[in-house]
Structure 1
Amino acid sequence: MVRRDGDEMVNSVEIKCTKDGPNLVIVDGNVVTAMCRCGASANKPLCDGAHRKHNFKAEEKTIKIV
């Protein structure tokens, strides 16, 4: 979908909290970024995979924004 000003319109946004991993920001079905939720990333707020070294545990959940 495209708005009148030519910018693309976002149809859906969701946050997928992965099991034992990062929060994935998904826009129109495409992963846009992975956000740290373990607190150990050296590249905060982005995930750098540090959760694997620190044995981070968390439940999986999806949050629909739009």
Structure 2
Amino acid sequence: MKIAEIKELSTKELIERVDAEVAAYDQKRINHTITPVDNPAQIKQQRRTIARMKSELRYRELNNK
């Protein structure tokens, strides 16, 4: 997910999306330990997407106060 797409989401949608992405990331990591994923770079990409979303949430939190 691109930064521009993240900024277009409302705060509520962004929070829900972060929760969903974290759950999917955890599941993918567990599955990877059991049976290796075809492309382990997907795990890295998903982790970075979560970080981008959390950064945007923190930015919004600091600017609203």
Q: Aligning the two structures, in what range does the TM-score lie when normalised by the shorter sequence? A: under 0.3
More helix as a share of residues = 2
Please tell me whether Structure 1 or Structure 2 has the larger radius of gyration of its CA atoms.
1
What TM-score do the two structures reach when normalised by structure 1? 0.25
Under a length normalisation based on structure 2, what TM-score does the superposition of the two structures give? 0.25
Which has the larger share of strand?
1
